[in-house]
């Protein structure tokens, strides 16, 4: 028979010793995980920004290299255009020069006006800008003059010969300036990569530090409290088990029948009750208490019971086979399984009634 005061600890309650609140433990763990998650997000965003900037610098260095190749291609094409007497090929070269000049100018202006440029790169752009514009103007003027010569069917012109002689030096000077710019981009990309590596290392160290601090300040205390909670739970369950065992021994040793019921439905009973009503205990627990008492007393058996209990009253019991016999019932209310139930103590008073009848006859 289970002890009437047995009640499991529900989630959200504290352990018997008050050492831990389950929601507080969950809140601490969630706080620790949130801090780690926030740190991971911030670190990932910062590293992504650094890596993007480093990648942009590498891409810019590659773009400067392509501009150098385009300057060299333009120089070679202009010299070929001047020296080639074939009018059709000259016309083709003039058109190609204009296309390449437009491409070169667009790339140069886009790179020059990049808001992410450092002060050193911006200064290099300012220094080479005039030479770049002069190269573009002279190259375009040469193309226009060649186009005019083609239209007039002229083989050459003195100004074109002079431009052809000066072009290699002009292109070489611009190539040197672009080379310095290319080198500067590579230096800054290398510096940015070192910063990125240092940031990644610092982030890992910081993350490990936060994990250690959280382990010491949050998870370890929470784990300690969890261990205390589990210890209290074990002690509480052991106390319940011992209480149950004591209750069972007392109930089994009692001569009175004990029935725990809710609205007449038996929840538990002792062996003495089964013997009084001539039933097996397992069979008895499948029955209603109303099956064991005469119908005339059902209302009283189910009536509300004050906290102080009811005074003993006599009723009529029904044994197996329908035999009626006098019983005495004492009812009170107890907590059981988290609810209030009735416990009825039932005595067979057949012997007492026979004695009383004999005394009256005497």
258-280 pLDDT, tens digit per residue, is 998 988 999 888 889 999 999 99
> Which own/partner pairs from 189-192 qualify as long-range (CB within 8 Å, at least 24 positions apart)?
189/54, 189/57, 189/58, 189/61, 192/50, 192/53, 192/54, 192/57
pLDDT band of 207, cuts 50, 70, 90: confident
pLDDT of residue 5: 45
pLDDT of residue 7: 42
Instruction: Say what percent of the chain tops pLDDT 70.
Output: 85
- Taking the CA atoms of 251, 2, 249 and 15 in sequence, report the sign of the dihedral they define: negative
Q: What is the mean pLDDT of residues 31-57?
A: 80
What backbone phi and psi angles, to 5 degrees, belong to 317? Answer: -90, 160
What backbone phi and psi angles, to 5 degrees, belong to 17? Answer: -80, -5
pLDDT at 27 over 80: no
Instruction: Say what percent of the chain tops pLDDT 90.
Output: 14
Between the CA atoms of 334, 336, 342 and 345, what dihedral angle is there, to the nearest 10 degrees? Answer: -80
Q: Write the DSSP assignment of 270-299 as a string of letters.
A: -HHHHHHTT--HHHHTTSBGGGGB-GGGHH
pLDDT band of 125, cuts 50, 70, 90: confident
Fold of 22-217: A middle domain of Talin 1 (1.20.1420)
Query: 249, 330 in Cβ contact below 8 A?
Result: no
Closest CA to 146 of 88, 73, 106: 88
pTM of the model: 0.45
Q: What is the mean pLDDT of residues 45-60?
A: 79
How big is the chain, counted in residues?
362
Residues 109 and 132: their CA atoms lie apart, in Å, by 11
Residues 317 and 295: their CA atoms lie apart, in Å, by 10
Residues 281 and 275: their CA atoms lie apart, in Å, by 8
Q: What is the mean pLDDT of residues 66-95?
A: 81
Q: What angle do CA 22, 27, 29 make, to 5 degrees?
A: 95
Query: 97, 78 in Cβ contact below 8 A?
Result: yes
pLDDT of residue 104: 87
Q: Which residue has the higher pLDDT, 58 or 323?
A: 323
Alpha helical stretches, state H, 84-115:
87-112
Domain with CATH 3.30.450.20 in the chain: 254-361
Q: What is the mean pLDDT of residues 87-115?
A: 85
pLDDT of residue 156: 59
pLDDT of residue 33: 78
Q: If you search the block for the tokens 């005394």, which residue do you land on?
A: 359
- 3-class SS of residue 329: strand
Query: 270, 257 in Cβ contact below 8 A?
Result: yes
Query: 141, 81 in Cβ contact below 8 A?
Result: no
pLDDT of residue 202: 85
Q: H-helix or E-strand containing 336?
A: strand 324-336
pLDDT tens track for 168-197: 787 888 888 888 888 888 888 888 888 888
pLDDT of residue 37: 81
Indicate the angle between helix axes 119-152 and 87-112, nearest 10 degrees: 160
| Residue-averaged pLDDT of the chain | 80
Query: 296, 320 in Cβ contact below 8 A?
Result: no
Q: What angle do CA 298, 304, 308 make, to 5 degrees?
A: 120
Fold of 254-361: Beta-Lactamase (3.30.450)
Domain with CATH 1.20.1420 in the chain: 22-217
Q: Which residues pair with 340 in a beta bridge?
A: 335
Q: What is the mean pLDDT of residues 197-221?
A: 79
Q: What is the mean pLDDT of residues 69-81?
A: 83
Q: Which residue has the higher pLDDT, 244 or 34?
A: 34
């Amino acid at each position: 028979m289970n002890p009437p005061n047995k009640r499991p600890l529900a989630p959200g309650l504290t352990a018997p010793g008050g050492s831990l609140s389950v929601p507080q433990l969950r809140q601490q763990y969630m706080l620790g995980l949130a801090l780690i998650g926030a740190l991971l997000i911030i670190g990932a965003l910062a590293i992504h920004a650094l890596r993007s900037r480093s990648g942009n610098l590498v891409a810019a260095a590659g773009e400067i290299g392509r501009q150098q190749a385009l300057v060299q291609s333009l120089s070679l094409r202009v010299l070929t255009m001047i020296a080639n007497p074939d009018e059709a090929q000259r016309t083709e070269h003039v058109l190609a020069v204009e296309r390449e000049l437009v491409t070169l100018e667009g790339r140069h202006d886009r790179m020059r006006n990049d808001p992410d440029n450092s002060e050193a790169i911006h200064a290099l752009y300012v220094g080479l800008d005039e030479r770049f514009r002069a190269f573009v103007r002279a190259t375009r003027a040469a193309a226009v003059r060649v186009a005019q010569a083609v239209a007039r069917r002229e083989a050459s012109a003195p100004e074109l010969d002079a431009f052809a002689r000066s072009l290699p030096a002009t292109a070489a000077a611009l190539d040197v300036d672009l080379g310095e710019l290319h080198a500067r981009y590579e230096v800054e990309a290398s510096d940015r990569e070192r910063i990125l590596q240092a940031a990644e290392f610092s982030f890992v160290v910081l993350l490990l530090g936060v994990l250690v601090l959280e382990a010491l300040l949050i998870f370890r205390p929470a784990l300690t409290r969890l261990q205390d909670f589990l210890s209290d739970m074990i002690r509480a369950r052991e106390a319940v088990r011992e209480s149950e065992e004591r209750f069972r021994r007392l109930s089994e040793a009692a001569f009175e029948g004990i029935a725990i019921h809710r609205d007449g439905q038996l929840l538990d009973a002792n062996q003495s009750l089964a013997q009084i009503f001539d039933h097996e205990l397992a069979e008895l627990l499948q029955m209603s208490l109303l099956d064991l008492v005469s119908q005339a007393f059902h209302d009283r058996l189910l009536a509300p019971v004050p906290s102080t209990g009811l005074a003993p009253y006599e009723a009529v019991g029904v044994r197996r086979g329908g035999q009626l016999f006098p019983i005495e019932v004492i009812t009170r209310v107890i907590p059981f399984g988290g609810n209030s139930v009735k416990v009825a103590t039932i005595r067979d008073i057949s012997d007492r009634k026979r004695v009383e009848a004999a005394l009256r006859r005497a």
